[in-house]
């Protein structure tokens, strides 16, 4: 099934381009790859135009209010020579959104709705088997977040039965970072989940419905829709040639990353432990850090590489990892394929619907509430049409989400 990418805003466009680049390279890489892997990967993200010389065209729609990022993205794709974007698959304006969500949502959204949705419609019609949307955006900024929200709403109205996955990039806290590197990492993580893999419906054939299967395993409850993504191993090319990996080690590290809510393999808190089996699950007191582990609602493991069928995933099946009302059997899904992914001989990812994001959300909401209470920057939003009521509604919704997640364990 084919997936349509919506690249919204600067971050969305850059991450999207990296993802497509990664997928294209991975699909072509090593001639030992099974043909079906390449064919499915190609069909999923690209379409072939008529003509023998044509490169595959990405199933993507690029949207930004400034022309700079889009032209950069288009150029980069063209330069690779292996794929490109469609000639008319982008929409941009002259003036940006000024990092203002309200500008994106209330002004640019309705104004450019038709044009953007027209592009989307054309892309969907080109899909023989349409498998859903991936909307990529950042949470900061104006276009990605504001316009992105508006477009997502329109998509849901236009295609009520489709699968929509919003890929959100969290803004960095402090300091300087290199965007290109981070974008590559994010793309790598996404690619490790979206490339062809055998889902649980069949052990020998690749699953054909990536978004549908993903969402069905993880997002079954309407109150819990936040997923986080972790992938190991992640190391530079130079170190890669000197490292070997074993499945038990990878599984152990990944499990601890999940429990301790670590973003990277380095600096995992090994002190965090689950309550020993058999003891009644106690409500976690704030003082005792050992018990503040990350409770999950559902987890999806995607394992790729050699000897993948010997990987032991029992560590993820413990009931203590999961909330009290979700049996571990239905909470855990494991997808495997022996095809390697992007130079890593073994690679493991976990997509987790758990309390990972709860603390960050909490922090942000506290800050936002302080700012709102002192009316800082509020007029910037109000001049574009957001009222105080809307603000309060949003706060309520986010608090509800935080409350739901904290009630998990």
Partner 1 sequence: MKIKEAIAALCKVLVGIRGRDGAAIAVNISPEMFRKAKFNRNEVTTEFWKLLHWLLKLVNEDKPSEVLELADQIKYVKAVVCYYGYGFMDFYQLPMDGSLGSRDLILAFSWLLQRIHLLEQLLNLHRLQVEDVASLCMCKQTLSFRPMEGSDLQESSHPVEMDVRYLQSLHGKLRFRRRNLYSAQQERCSALYKIHLYTKGCSSSQSFDHLSATEARLIQDHQQCTEFVQLLEHENIQLEAYLEWKRLEPIYWQWMESVLSAKLQDTQEVLNLNFTAVTAPSFNRRENCKEPDAFRKTNKLYAELLKLQSEIQDRRLVKNERIKEQERSMGDHLGWHEAVFLTCNLEQKLAAVQARMSQERRRHGQVRLALRINSTLTPSRSKPPTAQQHISSVSLTATEMISQLEAEAILLKKELQELQQLSKEALGEILEHLDGVICIPPTPR
Query: Which spans of this chain sit near partner 1 (rule: CB under 8 A)?
Result: 1, 128-131, 161-163, 209, 212-213, 215-216, 219-223, 297, 319, 324-329, 396-397, 400-401
CB of 389 to partner 1, least distance (A): 16
Three-state DSSP state, 338: coil
Instruction: Give me the least distance between CB of 131 and partner 1, in Å please.
Output: 7
Burial state string for 303-337 with b = 16 or more CB within 10 A and e = fewer than 16 = bbbeebeebebeebeeebbbbeebebeebbbbbbb
Contacts of 242 (CB under 8 A, 6+ apart): none
- Based on CB atoms, which residue is closest to partner 1, 216 or 370? 216
d(CA 112, CA 245): 49
Q: How far is the CB of 324 from partner 1 (least distance, A)?
A: 6
Spatial separation of the C-alpha atoms in residues 49 and 387, rounded to whole Å: 47
- Shortest distance (Å) from residue 217 CB to partner 1: 8
Nearer to partner 1, 299 or 347 (CB): 299
Least separation in angstroms between CB 397 and partner 1: 6
Q: Strand locations in 93-244, DSSP E?
A: 130-138, 164-169, 228-232
Nearest distance from C-beta of residue 212 to partner 1, angstroms:
5
Q: Whole-number minimum distance, CB 179 to partner 1, in Å?
A: 33
Q: Is the Cβ of residue 148 or residue 207 nearer to partner 1 in the bound state? A: 207
Q: Which is nearer to partner 1, 121 or 306 (CB)?
A: 121
- Measured CA angle at 208 (ends 202, 213), to 5 deg: 80
Q: Which is nearer to partner 1, 222 or 267 (CB)?
A: 222
* DSSP-derived pairing of the beta strands 296-305 and 228-232: unpaired
Q: Which is closer to partner 1, CB of 35 or CB of 329?
A: 329
CA distance 123 to 136: 16
Q: Are 256 and 272 in contact (CB under 8 A)?
A: yes
DSSP single-letter state for residue 356: G
Residue closer to partner 1 by CB (options 3, 308) is 3
Closest contact distance (angstroms) between CB of 127 and partner 1 is 10
Q: Which is nearer to partner 1, 166 or 319 (CB)?
A: 319
Q: What six digits make up the tokens of 374?
A: 């002192």
Q: Which of 64, 136, 145 lies closest to 106 in space, CA to CA?
A: 145
Q: CA–CA distance from 251 to each of 20, 305, 347, 351, 357 (Å)?
A: 28, 13, 10, 14, 22
Provide, rounded to whole angstroms, the least separation between the CB of residue 379 and partner 1: 28
- The candidate with the shortest Cα–Cα distance to 391, out of 408, 403, 405, 373, is 373
Indicate the residue among 70 and 401 with the shorter CB distance to partner 1: 401
Calpha distance 23→37 (Å, rounded): 11
- How far is Cα 335 from Cα 352, in angstroms, rounded to an integer? 14
Helices and strands, number each (H, E), in the chain: 14, 11
C-beta of 248 vs 327, nearer to partner 1: 327
Shortest gap between Cβ of 396 and partner 1 (angstroms)?
8
Smaller CB distance to partner 1: residue 101 or 163?
163
Distance CA 22, CA 48 (A): 18
Q: How far is the CB of 129 from partner 1 (least distance, A)?
A: 5
The answer to whether residues 316 and 283 touch, using CB atoms and an 8 Å cutoff, is no
């Amino acid at each position: 099934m084919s997936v349509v990418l919506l690249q919204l805003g600067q971050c969305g466009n850059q991450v999207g381009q990296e993802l497509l680049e990664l997928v294209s390279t991975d699909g072509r890489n090593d001639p030992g790859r099974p043909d079906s892997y390449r064919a499915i990967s190609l069909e999923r993200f690209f379409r072939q135009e008529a003509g023998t010389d044509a490169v595959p065209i990405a199933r993507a729609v690029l949207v930004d209010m400034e022309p700079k990022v889009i032209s950069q993205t288009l150029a980069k794709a063209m330069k690779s020579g292996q794929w490109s974007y469609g000639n008319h698959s982008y929409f941009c304006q002259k003036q940006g959104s000024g990092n203002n969500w309200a500008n994106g949502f209330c002004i640019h959204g309705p104004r450019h709705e038709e044009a953007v949705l027209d592009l989307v419609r054309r892309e969907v019609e080109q899909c023989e088997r349409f498998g859903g949307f991936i909307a990529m955006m950042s949470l900061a900024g104006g276009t990605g977040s504001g316009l992105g929200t508006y477009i997502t709403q329109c998509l849901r109205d236009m295609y009520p039965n489709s699968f929509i996955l919003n890929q959100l990039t969290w803004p960095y806290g402090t300091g300087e970072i290199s965007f290109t590197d981070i974008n590559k990492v994010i793309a790598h993580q996404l690619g490790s989940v979206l490339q062809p893999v055998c889902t649980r419906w069949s052990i020998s054939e690749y699953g054909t419905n990536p978004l549908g299967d993903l969402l069905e395993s993880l997002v079954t409850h309407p109150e819990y829709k936040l997923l986080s993504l972790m992938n190991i191993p992640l190391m530079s090319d130079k170190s890669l040639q000197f490292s070997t990996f074993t499945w038990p080690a990878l599984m152990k590290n990944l499990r601890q990353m999940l429990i301790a809510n670590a973003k990277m393999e380095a600096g995992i808190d090994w002190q965090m432990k689950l309550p020993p089996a058999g003891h009644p699950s106690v409500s976690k007191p704030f003082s005792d850090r050992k018990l503040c582990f990350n409770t999950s609602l559902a987890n999806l493991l995607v394992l790729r590489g050699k000897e993948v069928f010997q990987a032991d995933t029992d560590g993820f099946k413990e009931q203590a990892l999961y909330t009290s009302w979700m049996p571990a059997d239905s909470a855990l899904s494991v997808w495997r394929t022996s095809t390697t992914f992007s130079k890593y001989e073994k690679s493991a990812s976990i997509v987790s619907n758990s309390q990972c994001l709860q603390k960050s959300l909490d922090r942000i909401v506290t800050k936002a509430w302080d700012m709102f209470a002192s009316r800082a920057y509020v007029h910037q939003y109000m001049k574009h049409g957001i009222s105080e009521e809307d603000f309060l509604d949003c706060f309520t919704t986010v608090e509800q989400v935080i409350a739901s997640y904290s009630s998990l364990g």
